[in-house]
A and B are shown apart, each in its own frame.
Chain A
Amino acid sequence: MTRYAIRRGLTVVPVLIGVSLLVFSFIHLIPGDPALTMLGERATPEKVTAVRARLGLDRPLWAQYALYVGKVLRGDLGVSIVRGDPVATDLWRRFPATVELAGAALLLAIAVGVPAGMMCAVRRNSLLDSLARVGALTGVSMPIFWLGLVLAWIFGVQLGLLPTGFRLDSETTFRPVTNFLILDALLQREWAVLGDALRHLILPAVALATIPLAVITRMTRASLLEELTRDYIRTAQAKGLSQLAVITRHGLRNALLPVLTVIGLQTGRLLAGAILTETIFSWPGIGLWVYESIESRDYAIVQGATLFIAVIVVTVNLVTDLLYAVADPRIQY
């Protein structure tokens, strides 16, 4: 196991080098001059030259890359071109919002997806099963930007039940410490703020949860169906165990292994920052930040955030792989 962990850990290194190369080259492959975009209609050749020099874009590519990697290894992701703030500091300031949203979406997806998958498996080909399967398919295929707008329009604009965006109401004055608002509100016993934060979390979390929910439902159903045909299930039933006990204590336990893998993969995806959801709901996390930075060609932020996202995804995948081995002792490496 230890040998496997080390071997698996080492595979991360070339992946990250590849990612850093890709991230670095993408910026240079995108058509258009970042200096010109920054200056817009008012650009004069002198100003463009000056901005290019300031950004280091006039140096050879290899020199730019070497400089970039050196800084990244020291934890320096550069400085925002537009605002001049350190990218790493801004990243940590925005990450809690993304974690909070991703966490809520994942909890929702698991809390609904696993029981729904179980129900579908147990009542295979019933009306409930068909409805859940259609629902899951819809969930996977529905564009989030559309769903987000519809949810905001119905529950925010028409019914006035929930806010259409942001993490807190504009009238709420609250100074978070960690930027994890729910945690901060709990620690400071600010119940009104906690309620406000939860209300703001509902719509974006529902929008973001649709895909993982659908995937988890389908995976739980498929996996449990397979387990329910096995001999040990028949034995358990023959022993006279109740159907509930057979499914929860025997079938589900084994069926959940592939579901765990799927949850791991979805976690990485959600933590990577849901650009569409965060943009539609003005959620101040990494996704919205990256979107705005792409628009303003703040390539320092785009590079830093992409690299960070890649590290998150690679790490979550690594942890999932290792956990898989822990969860199923039959797996030998």
Chain B
Amino acid sequence: MRLGRLACFVVLALQLAVAPAAAQTFVFGAQGEPVQLDPAIITDGISSRITRQIYDGLVKYKGATTEVEPALAQSWEVSPDAKVWTFTLRRNVTFHDGTPLDARAVVWNFERWWKSSHPQHDNQVKAGQTFEYWEGQFGGFDDKSIVTKIEATGSHAVRLTLKDPQAPFLANLAMFVFDIASPAAVEKWGTEFGKHPVGTGAYKFVEWKPNQEVVLEANPDYWGVKPRIKRVVVRNIKDNSQRLGALKAGEIHGMEGLNPDDVAVVKRDPGLHVLLRPTNTTGYIAFNYKVKEFQDKRVRQAFAHAINRQAIVDALYGGTGLAATQFQPPPLWGYNKDLKGYEHSPAKAQELLKQAGLATGLSTITWDDGKKEPLVFWYMSRSRPYFPSPKEIGEAMAVDLAKVGIKAQLQTAEWAVYLDKRKNGQMPLYMLGWTGDNGDPDNFLCYFFCAPGVSREGFYANQPLADVLLRAQKLTSQAERAKLYRQAEQLLHDDAGRLFIANNQPPLAFARRVKGYVPHPTGSEYFNTVELQ
């Protein structure tokens, strides 16, 4: 009898649970758990997807572009020498804890990022956290920084003074890491602030269930486009196939991290649709210049002609890839439209090898200390946005190379070992790539080519290229800078310094009834425009 009652009770409880409540919730499936939710500290896309909903910066990227538009700062002025920036803040904006967003709050945030003596900087560092992006984008902390002064010149006016003009200054400020946090909340929570985030954004933080999900609720007082959905849940589903299963089962409404093979599956499903993030990522092959054969430009050009980039993109990117012609992806304003990339021509490749004295092909390389060894081509063991299936892409390239007589042995290593070998310049030929941070060409080119001859870049040294890039860094006119970046791409192309293979447009999958999601090249996407129809 008791058992019978229990069984009835369980069945009733199951039935009660079968019908979910009306959809007032947008559920997004993420590839992992956020690290924390203090934007100044984080560096990863999973965390920043959530912080972008909770916080705003002074400026933001416009729509799906990397152009900068006003956010918390409704306008700004720059001095003729491009060293003094004055921002006028939007009025009547409050943080989610009710404290006002004013010039003092903005100055407080900048000082926290910049000054190592700031109590809320110091305690983070002591807890093992770093303000990594501030260091990277603004030259370092204290006196090392390009920022020399920040002051409130009115209740809603902030003036920033720089040591030197910085071309990508506004693009840098639009990055998620420079979103403004509530000083009162940071002071209240200290190093635990990343678990209790408070900003001015379209959504307020509600709850973080470890290893499961982060829950947000709409901020009815939001200054910008009012959120159309009351509640947002970002769920952590590690496995790509399982995440797609959850989307098909209707348990989530949107997801990232679609396997290339699944793009077609989603496209065929009438209940789902695919959106492509504008490309901001480039996969490449790097040469090690300590290998004598690779010091000959003709050999590098032979590699470029041998590889059929378009066929690789067509076969292995699930319809989301583009054959790369240069390092910058097409949406960047420094992109050189005139560059077409090396055409696929095995005959030209063979001819160039012949001219370089390698008529019989290349299967053994000579290091500059005279040591000879078989040519090993390293492919990554981990999928990255620029190479979603690195093994298959590596194999396809090796086959192309073999057709012109370049016989490379494919090899891989665990990701940490791979990066270690790359750092120490130990791989003769390897695959890697880059995903842009702020939509500025400097972020692509200068990181790699401003310091010639370093081991992590395969000892590649091209001084004229470095000079052009360093010159572009000091200018403020975008038009003048664009000219220099186009020139830089041409130099890099002519030298075949590195082989750019593909740009990828990372796919996102959504339930058909999700509207208004705007994919952004940097992954900085806002949920306030999203609707469930």
Contacts and interface: CB of A to CB of B under 8 A. Distances in A.
Q: Does B bind A?
A: yes
Interface residues of A, number: 58
B14 A198 contact: yes
Contacts of B273: none
A282 B237 contact: yes
A138 B12 CA distance: 34
Interface stretch (A156-164, A231-239, A303-311): A156-164
B533 interface: no
Interface string B220-256: 0000000000000101111101100110111110000
Nearest to B435: A41
Interface in A265-288: 279-282, 284-285, 288
A191 B433 CA distance: 51
Contacts of A192: 13, 16-17
Contacts of B1: none
Given A84-B127, A164-B249, A170-B25, A284 B210 contact: yes
Contacts of B416: 31-34, 36-37, 297
Contacts of A153: 245
A153 to B, nearest CB: 6
Contacts of A52: none
B209 interface: yes
A169 B13 contact: no
A250 interface: no
Interface string B141-180: 0000000000000000000000000000000000000000
Nearest to A196: B17
Contacts of B18: 195, 199
A165 B251 contact: yes
A171 interface: yes
B417 A32 contact: yes
Contacts of B509: none
Nearest to B32: A292
B120 interface: no
B35 interface: yes
B10 interface: yes
A90 to B, nearest CB: 7
Contacts of B433: 41
A37 B381 CA distance: 13
A32 B420 contact: yes
A36 B35 contact: no
A156 B13 contact: no
B389 to A, nearest CB: 18
A83 B33 CA distance: 10
Contacts of B43: 42
Given A36-B416, A192-B16, A282 B242 contact: yes
Contact of A292 (B10, B20, B33, B213): B33
A102 B432 CA distance: 42
Contact of A43 (B35, B128, B419): B419
In this complex, which of A37, A54, A164, A169 has the most chain B Cβ atoms within 10 angstroms of its Cβ? A164
A195 B14 contact: yes
B25 A82 contact: no
A101 to B, nearest CB: 13
B16 A84 contact: no
B415 A157 contact: no
A149 interface: yes
Nearest to B136: A42
B92 interface: no
B3 interface: no
B10 A157 contact: no
A96 to B, nearest CB: 12
A260 B417 CA distance: 45
Q: Which 10 A-B pairs have the closest CB atoms?
A: A32-B416, A195-B13, A195-B17, A284-B211, A196-B17, A37-B416, A32-B417, A192-B16, A170-B233, A171-B21
6 contacts: A170-B27, A170-B251, A195-B16, A196-B17, A279-B238, A292-B238
